[in-house]
Structure 1
Amino acid sequence: MQPRSYDFPTGLFINGEWRCEGRDTQPVVNPANEQVIGHVPLATQADLDDALAAAAAGFATWSRMSAAARAAIIEKAAALMHERAELIGTLMSFEHGKLLADGLQEAHSSADIVKWFAEEGRRAYGRIVPGPLANSRQLVMKVPVGPVAAFTPWNFPVRIPARTVAAALAAGCSVVLKAAEETPACTAAMVRCFQDAGLPPGVLNLVFGVPAQVSEHLITSDVIKAVAFTGSIPVGKHLAGLAAANGLKKLVMELGGHAPVIVCDDADVERVATMLAKAKFRQAGQACISPTRFYIQEAVYEAFVERFVQVASGLRLGSAFEVDVDASPMANARRLAAADAFVKDALEHGARLALGGHRLERPGYFYAPTVLVDVPETARIMNEEPFGPVVPFSSFKTVEEVLARANRLNYGLAAYAFTGSDRRALELSNGLEAGMIGINSMLVSGPEVPFGGVKESGIGSENGVEGLQAYLVTKFVQQAVS
């Protein structure tokens, strides 16, 4: 397949206008060949101040519009995202490196999320509470919190901004979105859909820049009333501290994950191993809910690992635009170095290398699908999120034992378990400490269900009715007849 040209303007979008020229820039690199394919402008302090002023004015306009009027614009943006999915997905594949099929799927699923929130925004219900006084009524109202500063990563550069922006807009908030500099064009293409749908100026603003400088400038502003962040736990804690120290701003945070996978001896080994191997390496393991710690019950341990390695060894790595490709490159050189470090440490702790463990000898950030077996709990990869195509295996004896091991970390985003027993399924779903749990399934996200973690993996939830509530505050009104 011949790729379409990477030809789409990137820029800052502030108060309804695009800004590109006269600013420092950062190169955008195609992970599949390491070539510079574009440059993204970085916001100046004046740009950030303008974005904040625009968000304040935009909120005054947007929050006073009816929920139905807001929904009509958001729904039109969703329709435009579906229409432009090929463009958005192609840009994503150039910038992120993910397979074109994955880019297209993300573009369409992002549009579905936007459409869902367009509808849900009309259901931000309050209630009337009977009161103690005659000739009065008590109203509990849900109102938008105010302008939101949103910070989104490169691994899902359209879906994560879409769910954050759509929820905030549906609630009646304005947004200053600081998106990832590695993947600017696909995010800008999404923002343009909102612009072309008729969103008033200032309601949605897009900036890029030095992350620490942008986050501190936005979060410490009195304009911002809520902060949404998707990223690592250390950065999330830092931003939460800024938000607490500067107005105790409302937080929505989806932080790191280290998802345990438990496979019991009554599971279908052939089917589950095949499914997990394909799922793990599809986007080089660069997903916060990716399965990352594999615990296999002793009776089926050897058979499961053998089948998993067999499937993984047959995966074909390549660029988004090559034919018959199963897995994509990592997003940047940093992730290659991280993968090597995890493998080296695991081997030093006594693990055995069953597959991979090296970078491919070709242009691009390609790392071979890697399987480590008999990995002790002391290895880094069993304690830190790997965020790459490296899989550690360990065996267990009892469900009670494996639950203790799975729950021992401060992560609590996603977890997965596979069993043929309803009793075990209940025990595992009750016992796992995670915000999202898949039992005999890898599907733990969708527009209508909450997406978020417990423990240090997050604050609040995105998607679902919980995602809308994240950008609303409660107002109580006691109204008496004079």
Structure 2
Amino acid sequence: MRTELLVDGQWRPGRAGAFDVMDPATGATIASVANGDLADAGDAVAAADAAFAGWAATPARDRSDILRRAFELMMRDADSLAELIAAENGKAVGDARSEVTYAAEFFRWFSEECVRSGGDYGPAPTGGSRTLVTHKAAGVAVLVTPWNFPAAMITRKVAPALAAGCTAVLKPARETPLTALAIAALLIEAGVPDGVLNVVPTTESRRVVASWLADPRVRKVSFTGSTPVGQALLRLAADRVLNTSMELGGNAPFVVTDDADLEAAVSGAMVAKFRSGGQACTAANRFYVHADVVDEFVDRLGAEVEKLSVGPARDGHDIGPLISPQAVIEVGALVEAAVASGARISHIAGIPEGSAGNFYPPTLLTGVPHDAGVVREEIFGPVAPIVTWRDETELVAMANDTEMGLAAYVYSDDLQRALRIAEAIDAGMVGVNRGIVSDPSAPFGGMKQSGIGREGARVGLEEFQETRYFSVGWSS
């Protein structure tokens, strides 16, 4: 287990000492990790800047081979990485293993895209010149990742950055730095040169990231996290007109029509809502179920909710703890307010008695008003509020009554109807008869205040590139 900073290819202590990483299932300390300060952050940028020219000039095939090797190493160490994620994040081991596989795929995908950086060539309309379009690496990239997917959120940024020829400074979430450091160690083993990737865990996140965005050597920032923090970073980035990618908060509607396959809808709901304990930006946040099928849907979904086993990941439970005691308080407050406004807890799972962990019971709420806080706010916990609808126009209006637009889910046996609803919902990604929307080969991102830019697919590579063209004189 690596616990030091990684700067210019060297593992070293942090100038600000160290901080403890806690197991959210028990409250016990897992490890003490090096705490970087502003000087460490400056050293990381200096290393990335010094390595940039050489890495950008490295043949794409060589960069591709390194990323492919990183994929193979992640798969080799999949079990130990999953155990590490389960320990510091708290998610169920099955969820953690799925995350490792998903995370590794970004190394494989961008190893393949790395050698296919497109361009264009053709005559200008006037005929007096030729236009040659190319792409170049944006430069030193700042990568800031959250705690809820400590492996996937890192590889989804690091892989395209390195594939494009950028060097990077990474600040992982203070709650889950161990996974980031483990992946960095695998990248070194895969052959990433010194200084190309630098990792600075810190308890001074705002100051460190602000110092990076103010540094003239930095040309790109990619952030995944809450909308308020993203807004603050955008203000800082505006001062230097930085190239920015922002994957922010969500409030995903999950729509069930009266002609939906309810068995499939319930199966999809269990994944979309309860994967990682609901602590995902793409998690189904509010369920809109047609009045003709709502009773049957609630009975079926409630039965599955009550089967969920809650407890420490290492013991094989389905649902692990929330990330912190504060998260438990916030989720509980949303449920209590909903019940006070007329909602009813129709089904609930049990939680361990007398545990020191941050457990919250998977809960199904019915009779929820559309304007309840549990519907309008991102829950980030294992709570499923049910809102009933009849009119499709009203449904779409309710689904779009939010400043967020990351993901949505629609279940209907009439594919044309499902796509009509999907097209009407303001969301960057829609799962149609499917409870998962994430895929390395697809453009991940949202609309409105859910973000700017896309990750994954070919556009994920382009997020770390600058497009330019050469106008070449051409005599007739």
TM-score (norm 1): 0.95
Structure 2 residue 326 is the aligned partner of structure 1 residue 340: no
Q: Do the aligned residues in 1 keep the contact of 2:15 with 2:36 (CA within 8 Å)?
A: no
Contact between 1:177 and 1:205, CA under 8 Å: does it hold in 2? yes
Structure 2 residue aligned with 1:97, among 87, 90, 99?
90
Cα distance, 1:270–1:77 mapped onto 2, change above 3 Å: closer
Q: Which residue of 1 aligns with 2:208?
A: 214
Partner Cα distance (2:437, 2:125) in 1: 45
Cα pair 2:306 2:349 within 8 Å, conserved: no
1:331 aligns to what? 323
1:372 corresponds, among 354, 362, 365, to 365
Residue 275 to residue 140, structure 1, CA distance change in 2 (3 Å): closer
> What is the CA distance between 1:274 and its match in structure 2?
4.0
Partner of 2:32: 39
Q: Is the 8 A contact 2:52 2:139 kept in 1?
A: yes
Partner of 1:267: 260
Distance 1:132 1:434 in 2: 37
Offset at 1:401?
1.1
1:35-114, aligned counterparts within 5 Å?
35-114=28-107
Aligned partners of 1:340 and 1:358 also within 8 Å = no
Q: Secondary structure at the match of 1:395?
A: strand
* TM-fit CA distance, 1:277: 2.9
Q: TM-score, normalised by structure 2?
A: 0.96
Taking the aligned partners of 2:415 and 2:144, their CA distance within structure 1 comes to 40
For the residue of structure 1 that corresponds to 2:244, the secondary structure is: strand
Q: Within 5 Å, which residues of 2 pair with 1:119-158?
A: 119-131=112-124, 137-158=130-151
User: What residue number does 1:455 align with?
Assistant: 448
Q: Which stretch shifts more, 40-49 or 404-413?
A: 40-49
1:223 maps to a residue whose letter is R
Residue of structure 1 equivalent to 2:387: 394
Identity of counterpart residues, as a percentage?
38
**Alignment-derived partner of residue 173 in structure 2:** 180
- From 230, 238, 245, the equivalent of 1:244 is 238
Counterpart in the other structure of 1:234:
228
Structure 2 alignment gaps of length 5 or more: none
Q: Is the 8 A contact 1:336 1:359 kept in 2?
A: no
* C-alpha distance after superposition, 1:251-297 (max 9, x if no partner): 11110001001101111223322441354223110011011100100
Q: Which of 340, 344, 369 matches 1:352?
A: 344
When the two chains are superposed, the root-mean-square deviation of aligned CA atoms in Å is 1.8
2:417 pairs with 1:417: no
Q: Structure 2 vs 1, CA of residues 311 and 358 (structure 1 numbering), >3 Å: closer, same or farther?
A: closer
The answer to whether structure 1 residue 17 and structure 2 residue 40 are counterparts is no
Task: Name segments (4+ residues, structure 1) moved above 4 Å.
Answer: 132-136, 357-360
Equivalents in 1 of 2:408, 2:125: separation in Å? 47
- Aligned AA for 1:438? G
Post-superposition offset of 1:137? 3.5
CA–CA distance in structure 1, aligned partners of residues 38 and 319 of structure 2: 40
Q: Does the 8 Å CA contact 1:278/1:312 hold for their aligned counterparts?
A: no
- Of 415, 435, 442, the match for 2:428: 435
Q: CA deviation at 1:55?
A: 1.0
Distance 1:435 1:21 in 2: 39
Distance across 2 between alignment mates of 1:284 and 1:423: 32
* 1: CA distance, partners of 2:274 / 2:182: 27
User: What is the SS of the residue equivalent to 2:436?
Assistant: coil
